[in-house]
A = this chain, B = another copy of it.
Amino acid sequence: MADVGLPAIVTILTTLAEVAEPMSENAPLKGIFTPNIVPLDAQGEINEAELRRYVDWLIERGVHGLYPNGSTGEFTRFTAEERRRIIEIIADHAGDRVPILAGAAEANTRETIRACEHYHDLGVRAVAIVAPFYYKLSPAGVYAYFKEIADNSPIDVTLYNIPMFASPIDVPTVQRLAEECPRVAAIKDSSGDLPHMMRMISAVRPVRPDFAFLTGWDAALLPMILLGCDGGTNATSGVVPEITRKLYDLTTSMQLDEARELQYRLLTLFDAMILSSEFPEGFRAALRLRGINTGCGRQPQSDVQQAALGTLSDQLQCLLAGEGFTEEPVGGCPVGDSVDPDQVARIVRTVVGELKKQGIN
C-alpha cells in the first residue's frame, strides 16, 4: 500500500464499490429459526418419518425457518454421512415453505466447504458454521478459519459464536470478516451477552446493512430483538414454537407489556429444560410430551441421570399443561399458591423472631 496515496485509494474504492460492494445478494435472515432435535428410532438410527412429521409440526406452528445440525441438533454425535442425510431430508421436506439454515461444520475447512457446496445444491438459504472447537483458537486463528471457508463457499455463511462450547468469535473478528467477506452474511450468537451483541451491531451494521444478527439465547429474546437483533435460533422454538414465535411478534410490534410477561414465562420453561439435565436432554423430554416421538439420545445416561430426567419430565409436563399444551401428569401438579412447608417454616421463624425483637411475643 506504500506506493499509493490515500486519495487515490479512495477514488479506486469508490469506483470499485459501485460494481461490487461486499454484500450478500439475498434478503437478511429474519425471524425465528428452529434448531431441531433429530428423532431417532429404537436402533438409534435417524427416524426419517418422524423427522418429516416434526418439520410439518414446526412449520404449522409458525417458525420462520429451520436450523438443522445445530447444538440442539447434536451435530457432533452424528457421522458426517448422517449430518448430510439430515439436511437432505429437511430440505426435501420443507421445500419452499420456510428457509433453511444448515449447520455445516465438518472436520476441517476442506470438508466444510464441500458441505457448503452440497447444501447450496440442495437449495438451503444459508449455512451456519460454529467456530473451531476442541482446540481453543486465538482470534487470528478463528479469522483465518472463517476467511478460508467464506472465500470458497457458494452460499451465505452465518458465523456461529457459542463460547461455552467453542472458540469465541470476538467483535473485531466479526467486523473484519463482515468487511472482507461478502459471503459472511450473519452471526448467530449464543453467548446471551447483550452488550456483546450491541457491540457487534455497532461495529458491523454501518458497513454491512444486509448483515443479520441472530440470538441463540432464549432467555433474553425480547431485549435482544428490541436492541436490534433480526431474530433468533432458539431451542425453545422446537418445543413451544407457539410461545417463541408469539414473543417475537409481540416484541417486533412493540406490545411490550405482553411481551415482557411472555418472556418471563419462556424463561421458566427454558430454565427447566436447560438447567436440570445434560443438554439437550431436557428439550428432548419436553418434546416427547408434545407428542413428537424423539426416541432416546445417543449420549448414554446413567441411572442417576435417568431418574433425574423422570422427575424433570413431570415438572415439564406441569409447565406445559400450564401453557395448555398437555394434560397434567397423573399425580397432578403443585398449584402456584400452594403451601410449601419449608417456606412456611421459614416465614413463621422470621415472623416470630421479629415479634420477639419488638417485644410483642
Nearest first, the 5 closest Cβ-Cβ pairs linking A and B are A223-B223, A195-B219, A144-B302, A144-B300, A16-B351
Tell me, in angstroms, the Cα distance from A98 to B19 when the chains sit together: 60
Q: Quick check: is A260 within 8 A (CB to CB) of the other chain? A: yes
Apart from A147-B300, A194-B219, A254-B256, 5 more pairs, CB < 8 Å:
A9-B341, A17-B351, A20-B351, A76-B134, A194-B194
Nearest Cβ on chain B to A84's Cβ, whole angstroms: 13
Q: Quick check: is A141 within 8 A (CB to CB) of the other chain? A: yes
Q: Are the C-beta atoms of B141 and A299 separated by less than 8 Å?
A: yes
Q: Quick check: is A290 within 8 A (CB to CB) of the other chain? A: no
List 17 interface pairs A-B (beta carbons < 8 Å), by A numbering.
A13-B344, A13-B348, A16-B351, A137-B278, A137-B299, A138-B305, A140-B302, A143-B302, A179-B343, A179-B346, A179-B347, A182-B350, A194-B194, A195-B217, A198-B264, A202-B267, A223-B226
Nearest Cβ on chain B to A199's Cβ, whole angstroms: 7
Q: Are the C-beta atoms of B199 and A271 separated by less than 8 Å?
A: yes
Closest B residue, CB atoms, query A343: B179
Q: Are the C-beta atoms of A348 and B278 separated by less than 8 Å?
A: no
Interface residues of A in 173-217 (CB under 8 A from B): 176, 179-182, 192-195, 198-199, 202, 217
Q: Quick check: is A301 within 8 A (CB to CB) of the other chain? A: yes
Q: Which B residues lie within 8 Å of A17 (CB)? A: 347, 351
Q: Quick check: is A111 within 8 A (CB to CB) of the other chain? A: yes
Q: Are the C-beta atoms of A180 and B350 separated by less than 8 Å?
A: yes
Whether A360 touches B299, Cβ cut-off 8 Å, given contacts A144-B305, A223-B223, is no
Q: Quick check: is A355 within 8 A (CB to CB) of the other chain? A: yes
Interface residues of A in 212-240 (CB under 8 A from B): 217, 219-220, 222-223, 226-228
Q: Quick check: is A327 within 8 A (CB to CB) of the other chain? A: no
Whether A134 touches B166, Cβ cut-off 8 Å, given contacts A141-B302, A144-B301, A223-B226, is yes
Chain A positions 326 through 359: 1 when the CB is less than 8 Å from some CB of chain B, otherwise 0: 0000000000000101011111111111110010
Q: Which B residues lie within 8 Å of A99 (CB)? A: none
Q: Which B residues lie within 8 Å of A26 (CB)? A: none
Q: Which B residues lie within 8 Å of A140 (CB)? A: 301-302, 304-305
Q: Which B residues lie within 8 Å of A341 (CB)? A: 1, 6, 9
